[in-house]
């Protein structure tokens, strides 16, 4: 269900001050990945990882590209 259908306002945080860190994360993730990650997907993945550590009782169902590492 999209934000428009549910009547909710979209959450659009300003991460401009963190862009350098996000770009570094994207570069690192894209070194050995099959699918190239976008900045948005990298941020989503970081939030998911943080939630797994802080909120282990909550099951997260990602709505982003899959991150698959290539071992070579």
Neighbours of 21 (CB within 10 A): 13
Summarised one tens digit per residue, pLDDT across range 19-38 is: 999 999 999 988 877 778 89
Residue found under tokens 């993945």: 45
What's the pTM?
Answer: 0.69
Q: How many domains does the chain have?
A: 1
Is residue 30 one of the residues assigned to a domain?
yes
Which residues have C-beta within 8 Å of that of residue 45, sequence separation ≥ 6? 29, 37, 62, 64, 67
Is residue 56 one of the residues assigned to a domain?
yes
Is residue 6 one of the residues assigned to a domain?
no
Quote the pLDDT of residue 21: 97
Is residue 13 one of the residues assigned to a domain?
no
Domain that holds residue 22: 18-72
CA pair distance 42, 54, nearest whole angstrom: 18
């Amino acid at each position: 269900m999209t934000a428009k259908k549910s009547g909710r306002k979209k959450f659009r945080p300003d991460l401009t001050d963190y862009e350098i860190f996000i770009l570094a994360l994207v570069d690192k993730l894209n070194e050995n990945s099959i699918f190239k990650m976008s900045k948005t997907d990298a941020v989503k993945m970081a939030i998911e990882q943080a939630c797994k550590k802080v909120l282990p009782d909550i099951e997260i169902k990602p709505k982003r590209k899959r991150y698959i590492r290539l071992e070579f």
